Amino acid sequence: MAPTHVLAIDVGSSSLRAGIFLPTSERVAHARLPRNDALSGLNFDADRLWEQVGACVNLLPAGLRSLVEAIGVTAHIGSVFLDRSLNVLARASGWADASGVDIIASKLGGNIERLLRVTGRPVLTGGPVAAALALRAQSARGFDAIAHLASPKDFINARLTGDVTTDSTSAAYFGAFDAYGLKWSEEILRELGLGAAVLPRVQPSITVAGALQESVARHLGLRSGLPVAAGGPDGTVGASFVLGGRSDHIADISGTTDVLVRVVTTPPAWSSSILINPYVDSRRWTVGGSTGGTGGALAYWSMMLGLDAAHGPAFEEEISSVPIGALGLVMKPFLTGSRFPRWRRDDRGAVLGVGEQHGRAHFLRAAAESITFVAREGIDVLAPEPGVPIILAGGIAKSTLLARMRADILGRPVLVVDEPDVSLSGAARLAIMAIEGVVSKPSMRPAVRLIEPDPDAVRLYEELYRSWQEN
């Protein structure tokens, strides 16, 4: 039986959101708090995050909180170390942290490709396993105190329920999970010298991870014993909301990064460009990955040039005043390295072709075009065939101009999701599926509006894109 009201929590790098939803996916309450300590994607204060979760949930109306019958949580990827009492042991790390990667490379030597093939990773990236090895190299005592490795979402679920578990998608980001066999790789753990005891139990996102503890329930104004869904990483959870089980579309969840996702029924062979993850139902997989700081780069340039946000009337008016191509101004938006499909940690941003004819509007347009070029690189890998539609959600979807630019640069139909918080809605959807015991919930897919690419703009952007790739 479906719960009448569901609490969803979404932890992003720049903000934390909470909402109460009906089974129809209608949101009846919403709260948001900014996060200023996690913007870099490198590290954050996990105890402060837990305080913010409580503060954000308590901003929701008390009357609606009393009606909640289930909880769903999603968050960005990262690493949190916990002791046996679920106390945080060190500063937590975010999605851009690569500490410990050099240690893994040194330990495995010529066996690195074997690890990548098992875990479905195109390159070595950071994660809880790598971060734990980095801590061991710095402090044996600190490492020995670790009882649990967790993702940020796992950490929140652990504080809610008292149990440390993870979902199969989050587990794939740990660095020692067999993405094909859906289990921790004993071979990899043995080669890295890491015991399996610190790793959480793995379950599908659409199952119940535990029950809300009484002390936490009192603090949050909720009923004790509420079921808490296993949940998953924000990009995948957002994609599950807009895609469901469809494999004939690609999801572009745009935020600080663009998370590009395509669902497949059979995992493909290992590739040096795509990320292979178990899907939320643990019966299918996704291919794709996060592009790196695309939306973050646009926000950076907007802030540097004196605008409050990378959307809205003032932003769109400036970009609209400049022709396609920004009069030859070209940007590389890689402020914190590139990820899918390049996977180059050392990539950095650049501005090319600057002349006296360029003003603020040209820089803004060049930044907007460049982040879409990055998204196109990934989308073309996932769908070399033309015409595969893109479902666009998140920050870019708030701007009609930027959504139009995306359709024109991609040369593909773009279905724009007007729901502003798809990861939050996705967390609610997973919680409802966990309670109902179903693997599909098509009735909760969002409404979309279609933007077809303009043929003239497509021709102009095709030449500009090829030139951008060569720079």
What does the pLDDT look like over 218-274, one tens digit per residue?
A: 999 999 999 999 999 998 999 999 998 889 999 999 988 899 999 999 999 999 999
Question: Considering the domain boundaries, does residue 303 fall inside one?
Answer: no
| Rounded Cα–Cα distance for residues 439 and 436 (Å) | 9
Assess if residue 1 is contained within a domain.
no
Mean pLDDT across the stretch 92-121? 91
Q: What is the pLDDT of residue 40?
A: 66
Q: Which residues contact 212 (CB under 8 A, 6 or more apart)?
A: 71, 160, 161, 222, 223, 224, 225, 226, 227, 228
Q: What are phi and psi of 220, to 5 degrees?
A: -95, -5
Match 């029950």 to its residue by tokens: 211
120 falls within a domain = yes
pLDDT in tens, 390-437: 999 988 999 999 999 999 999 999 999 988 899 999 999 999 999 987
Provide the β-strand partners of residue 201: 165
Q: Whole-angstrom Cα distance, residue 395 to residue 267?
A: 30
The answer to whether position 308 is within a domain reads no
d(CA 252, CA 244): 14
Average of per-residue pLDDT across 382-396 = 93
Phi, psi torsion values for 19, nearest 5 degrees: -150, 155
Instruction: Grade residue 441 by pLDDT with cuts at 50, 70 and 90.
Output: low
Q: Tell me, what's the pLDDT at 356?
A: 96
C-alpha to C-alpha distance for 347 and 365, rounded to whole angstroms: 21
Mean of the per-residue pLDDT values of the chain: 93
70 falls within a domain: yes
Q: Measure CA of the first residue to CA of the last residue in the chain; give whole Å.
A: 56
pLDDT tens string 5-48: 999 999 998 899 999 999 888 899 999 999 987 666 788 999 99
pLDDT of 36: 83
- Number of domains observed in the structure of the chain: 1
pLDDT at 3 over 90: no
Residue 107 lies in domain: 6-234
Give the separation between CA 99 and CA 338, rounded to whole angstroms: 16
CATH number of the CATH domain containing 151? 3.30.420.40
Residue 201 phi, psi (nearest 5)? -65, 140
Answer whether residue 438 shows pLDDT above 80.
Answer: no
User: What letter represents residue 394's amino acid?
Assistant: G
At 92 the pLDDT is 93
For residue 85, tell me if it sits in a domain. yes
Mean pLDDT for 124-152 is 95
DSSP, collapsed to helix, strand or coil, labels residue 91 as coil
Give the rounded percent of residues in the chain with a pLDDT score beyond 70.
97
Q: Is residue 88 in a domain? A: yes
Has residue 16 been placed in a domain?
Answer: yes
